[in-house]
Amino acid sequence: MIKLSSSELRLSVLPQLGAAVHSMHYKVGDDWVPVFQPGKENPASALDCGLFWMSPFANRARDNRLGAHVLKPNTAEPLALHGAAWQRAWTVAECSPSHCRLALEVGAGSFAYAFAVAVSLTLKGAELTIQLTIANRDRTPVAAGFGVHPYFPRRPSTRLQFRAERYWLEGAGHLPTGAVAMHPDVDFANGSPLPMEWRNNCNSGWDGRAEIEQPDLGYRLIMTADDCLRELMLFVDPQLDRFALEPQSHTSGATQVNPEPPATGTTLLYPGDRLETRLVFRIEPLN
């Protein structure tokens, strides 16, 4: 386990489990309270951690296809899930007390095509900056994308705020069935408590900013993403004490390059091309 720290944050990374962030804590007075919440203290996979990386696609691959490539299911589910990077051991390329860079090379023999991913994590004060890159290592053009899958503490007082243009209904196989205009039951533009019922929906046209207020823990988290990440997945399971808010580069289920509008598809990368993104988590105390 790699442990990073700043004056206000502590973060742990597990290179052998998909370079997942096991947990991150924020200093409130003399206490350290959770920001990313793992499902298990001793995780068996990246899914048990507080944050993991989805690449070369996010969430489920419709019809088990990624562009022109056919995928094999990688869990007990019938559809390939969250790409391949979360199930591989990564290499530590750089490491210091407040920064690390991890990398992964995937050959065509172990996935549909060859690709490389790298992630950089930097702590400064109460801010975590993430830089994520995917590169085509194949000899042909490929469809690619990524997402970041953090889990946050789910408390009775937790409030969520973000703006989006469309909301995708969930259908069979947890795939979106169609986009509808935002309406009060699903609109978090003005800030609302977390829903009490199951939610597993993609929000398109996200403006790149989300706020999570945690009164029970004494802080507000502000998440900002660059233009590459304009799809935001919200996952709430009423049986869990954590929820997910997942920025990603394409609409869930839209693993083709040119899907039917208004979905945003994956990006066509020619050999040697790269796709990069930046995501920042900033924590502020609640007065």
- Structural domains in the chain, sorted by start: 2-285 (2.70.98.10)
Q: Which residue has the tokens 């830089």?
A: 131
User: Residue 185 — very low, low, confident or very high, per pLDDT cuts 50/70/90?
Assistant: confident
User: Does 183 score more than 90 pLDDT?
Assistant: no
Q: pTM for the whole thing?
A: 0.97
Pairwise CA distance, residues 212 & 194, whole Å: 10
pLDDT of residue 139: 96
Tell me the two tokens of residue 95. Answer: 């490491």
For 8-39, the pLDDT digits (tens) are 999 999 999 999 999 999 999 999 999 999 99
Q: Are 23 and 12 in contact (CB under 8 A)?
A: yes
Q: Would residue 272 be called left, alpha or beta, if left means φ above 0 and alpha means ψ between -120 and 50 degrees?
A: left
Cβ proximity of 221 and 214 under 8 Å: yes
